[in-house]
């Protein structure tokens, strides 16, 4: 039918500023499809995808880029061997922590990327989303800053949980 769009077209329209998908399963499916190629040897990827009730308006290409940045960071943290977990879940407005300056809470879909790598010290975690901040010798320091910008555009939240030798979990709470 002329009014129906195939999944491939949804991806292309989102990438060029066209219509955005409201179907979380499709968005996650496309975003995850390219990640396996970027894992590297020794890394294992586990998926826990549970987004079956809530819808969110998302640019699939931006979600894919954000996940690629986060999986790359996780892969580098586990240094050749370890586990990367990607999970999704629905977050009801009443379950979100209060955010200063936000008067109205809405339901969100959370995408969490966790690794069992080296983790971050609190000062590094605090500065991680600053543009051009990096702890790597051959990096621009834009990955988490780009992810933060994308999440902010969805009126969502970015939560980073990490501790030295305890791995890192980055939660994208998308509205």
The pLDDT of residue 100 is 55
pLDDT for the residue numbered 12: 36
- To which H or E segment does residue 43 belong? strand 43-48
Contact 120, 74 (CB under 8 A): no
Res 119: pLDDT: 93
Q: How many residues does the chain have?
A: 175
Q: Give, for all 175 residues of the chain, the pLDDT tens digit.
A: 444 443 333 333 334 444 455 555 666 666 676 676 667 777 887 777 775 655 667 777 888 889 888 988 898 888 868 899 988 888 877 776 666 555 456 778 889 999 999 999 999 999 999 888 888 777 777 889 999 999 998 888 899 999 999 999 999 988 8
What pLDDT, on the 0 to 100 scale, is given for residue 97? 67
Task: Identify the pLDDT of residue 169.
Answer: 97
- 58, β-bridge pairs: 21
Cα–Cα distances (Å) from 173 to 92, 93, 113, 164, in that order, read 11, 11, 12, 24
Q: What is the pLDDT of residue 54?
A: 59
pLDDT score for 62: 87
Show the tokens assigned to 138: 């051959």
| Residue that the structure tokens 């030295």 belong to | 164
pTM: 0.77
């Amino acid at each position: 039918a002329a009014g129906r769009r195939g999944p491939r077209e949804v991806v292309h329209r989102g990438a060029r500023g066209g219509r955005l998908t409201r179907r979380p399963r499709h968005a996650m499916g496309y975003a995850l499809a390219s990640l396996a190629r970027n894992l590297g040897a020794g890394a294992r990827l586990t998926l826990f995808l549970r987004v079956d009730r809530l819808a969110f308006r998302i640019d699939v290409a931006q979600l894919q880029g954000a996940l690629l940045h986060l999986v790359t960071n996780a892969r580098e943290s586990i240094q050749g061997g370890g586990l990367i977990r990607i999970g999704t879940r629905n977050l009801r407005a009443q379950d979100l922590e209060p955010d200063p300056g936000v008067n109205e809470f809405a339901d969100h879909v959370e995408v969490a990327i966790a690794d069992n790598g080296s983790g971050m010290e609190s000062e590094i975690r605090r500065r991680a989303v600053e543009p051009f901040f990096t702890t790597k010798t051959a990096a621009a320091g834009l990955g988490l800053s780009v992810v933060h910008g994308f999440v902010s555009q969805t009126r969502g939240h970015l939560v980073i949980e990490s501790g030295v030798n305890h791995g890192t979990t980055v939660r994208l709470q998308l509205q």
